[in-house]
Amino acid sequence: MNLNTPVFSSFTHDGLKLAFFDEGDPSGVPVLLIHGFASSANVNWVYPGWLKTLGDAGYRVIAIDNRGHGASDKPRDAEAYRPWHMASDAIALLDHLGIPEANLMGYSMGARISVFAALAHPDRVRSLVLGGLGIGMTDGVGDWDPIADALLAASLDDVTHDRGRMFRAFADQTKSDRAALAACIKGSRDLVARSDMAKIEAPTLIGVGTKDDIAGSAEELAALMPRATALDIPGRDHMLAVGDRVFKKAVLEFYAEVAG
């Protein structure tokens, strides 16, 4: 785990102050990282070593704290967290930095946001890496209402739902705004139509842990897309796949082919 956190800056979009970092080689090929639910740019990308991995490979590494997360503003209205709103934040960050086109890499909720960005702005997305979300992108990933309830419970001791306990413990560990996260989980679950996945022409790598019981099949999602490849991340569940060495190696090889 890498605990050397970068310096964050901020910009304003849609009335919200949003935090981000911009690291690596300023002249390198840009990679925009979009983290998952209840996480942050640091938790998802810095601590598991992605910033170092991509920076050492010569990329310009940019990551946003999604609204409701990290150092960004935290609205309490579920409608503020629809995936297209968060996708527009990501594109607005590219605008803020003067970047016409970037490689987008998202994990879990961040993968969903990345797909919405690619559908709305295909000219801005050179490639996609979708981690921690397979066919759940189109078919759903189960009932998430208990997670909202778990986040709003008085304490972890009051939560009996297994997945709810997992996310509540994670939110407590990261000292997150649980009310904002509850609004986010209610508002961010829009699915992508299978026919829309077929419209994405950007080369795509889809990585899912073999023990992930949330994401759904990477192979099934890849089969819907014209230029997608599925990656099994051996022995990893939803929480641990993100920093896996197999995943990092596959992403670097993928970027060597398509990112430039």
Domain count within the chain: 1
Residue 112, in any domain of the structure:
yes
- Here the CATH number for the domain that contains residue 204 is 3.40.50.1820
Q: How confident is the model at residue 1, as a pLDDT? A: 67
| 167 within 8 A of 150, measured Cβ to Cβ | yes
Q: Which domain holds residue 226?
A: 9-139+194-259
Q: How confident is the model at residue 58, as a pLDDT? A: 98
Residue 146, in any domain of the structure:
no
Residue 251, in any domain of the structure:
yes
Q: How confident is the model at residue 3, as a pLDDT? A: 73
pLDDT tens track for 143-178? 788 999 999 999 999 999 988 998 899 899 888 999
pTM value? Answer: 0.96
Residue 65, in any domain of the structure:
yes
CB-facing half-sphere around the CA of 116: CA atoms within 13 A: 24
Residue 91, in any domain of the structure:
yes
| 257 within 8 A of 33, measured Cβ to Cβ | no
Ranges under pLDDT 50 in the chain? none
Residue 132, in any domain of the structure:
yes
Residue 211, in any domain of the structure:
yes
Chain centroid to CA 111: 5
Residue 4, in any domain of the structure:
no
- Both tokens of 6, joined, read 């970068």
